């Protein structure tokens, strides 16, 4: 299988996100006939035989890099990742509806609204790992903020005075609540998306379109979908 990774014209290579989204991705692939048994095991391998596809697991934030460069033909990652890495051109084919979450502006409980903070105290300092999305959001609002780039434990920033608030991705909001934070503004919603490399889509369009159609149908047939 490993020899196929760099073999032109072999099986389609799919970049699959590790972490919270992985189980939902594998369940969805199962429903369209992709073999996921190997990928569900406890192997330390990053590459798995998916039958008609080769599955390559990686951090969600790496998916656009691999797909845009052609190291993977297709991939699945969140809309938030695609927006943050909009300089990495890929074709977005299907909204899979999995892993729903929200990008929000949050501050400590009891703090004044961000607009009131700016009026009273001046420019807000915002910690985030989504600098591009945050910059665009505040620019569209005509609001000046100072962005502090933080890679991990972002909820800590307002608690220790590093920032007045955070822009981050939340699913249930539980982590915010446990750290005395609350959502003040919702910036955007995000779900998992199927994306394709532009060259792969052009030269292997029939295969990619077939996969996209099957996934689209599986999503449409899912419980709760009309």
CATH of the domain at 140: 3.40.190.10
Q: Are residues 113 and 86 in the same domain?
A: no
19-28, 106-115, 195-204: least confident range: 106-115
Do 21 and 99 meet the contact criterion of CB atoms below 8 Å apart? yes
Do 77 and 193 meet the contact criterion of CB atoms below 8 Å apart? yes
Confidence of residue 224 (pLDDT cuts 50, 70, 90): low
Q: Which residue matches tokens 């292997």?
A: 204
- Give dist(CA 166, CA 122) in Å, integer: 16
**Helix, coil or strand: residue 35:** coil
Domain that holds residue 149: 101-189
119 has a pLDDT exceeding 90: no
- Provide the token pair at 134: 């945050």
- Domain membership of residue 225 (yes or no) is no
121 has a pLDDT exceeding 60: no
Neighbours of 3 (CB within 10 A): 7
| Element spanning 118, H or E | helix 114-121
Q: Are residues 132 and 63 in the same domain?
A: no
In terms of C-beta density within 10 A (0-12 exposed, 13-18 middle, 19 or more buried), how is residue 54 classed?
buried
102 has a pLDDT exceeding 80: yes
Q: Are residues 89 and 172 in the same domain?
A: no
Q: Are residues 113 and 6 in the same domain?
A: no
Q: Are residues 172 and 197 in the same domain?
A: no
**Predicted local confidence at residue 1, as pLDDT:** 62
Cα-to-chain-centroid distance, residue 111? 29
């Amino acid at each position: 299988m490993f020899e196929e990774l760099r073999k032109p014209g072999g099986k389609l290579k799919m970049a699959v996100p590790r972490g919270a989204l992985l189980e939902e991705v594998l369940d969805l692939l199962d429903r369209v006939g992709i073999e996921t048994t190997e990928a569900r095991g406890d192997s330390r391998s990053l590459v798995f035989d998916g039958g008609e596809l080769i599955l390559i697991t990686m951090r969600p934030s790496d998916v656009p890099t691999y797909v845009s460069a052609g190291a993977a033909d297709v991939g699945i990652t969140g809309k938030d990742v695609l927006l943050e890495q909009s300089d990495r051109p890929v074709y977005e084919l299907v909204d899979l509806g999995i892993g729903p979450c929200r990008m929000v502006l949050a501050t400590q409980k009891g703090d004044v609204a961000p607009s009131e903070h700016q009026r009273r105290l001046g420019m807000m300092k915002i910690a985030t790992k989504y600098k591009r999305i945050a910059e665009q959001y505040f620019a569209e609002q005509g609001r000046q903020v100072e962005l502090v780039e933080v890679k991990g434990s972002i909820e800590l920033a307002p608690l220790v005075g590093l920032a007045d608030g955070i822009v981050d991705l939340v699913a249930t909001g539980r982590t915010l609540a446990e750290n005395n934070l609350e959502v003040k503004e919702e910036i955007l919603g995000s779900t998992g998306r199927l994306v394709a490399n532009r060259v792969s889509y052009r030269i292997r369009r029939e295969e990619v379109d077939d996969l996209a159609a099957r996934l689209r149908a599986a999503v449409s047939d899912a419980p709760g979908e009309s």
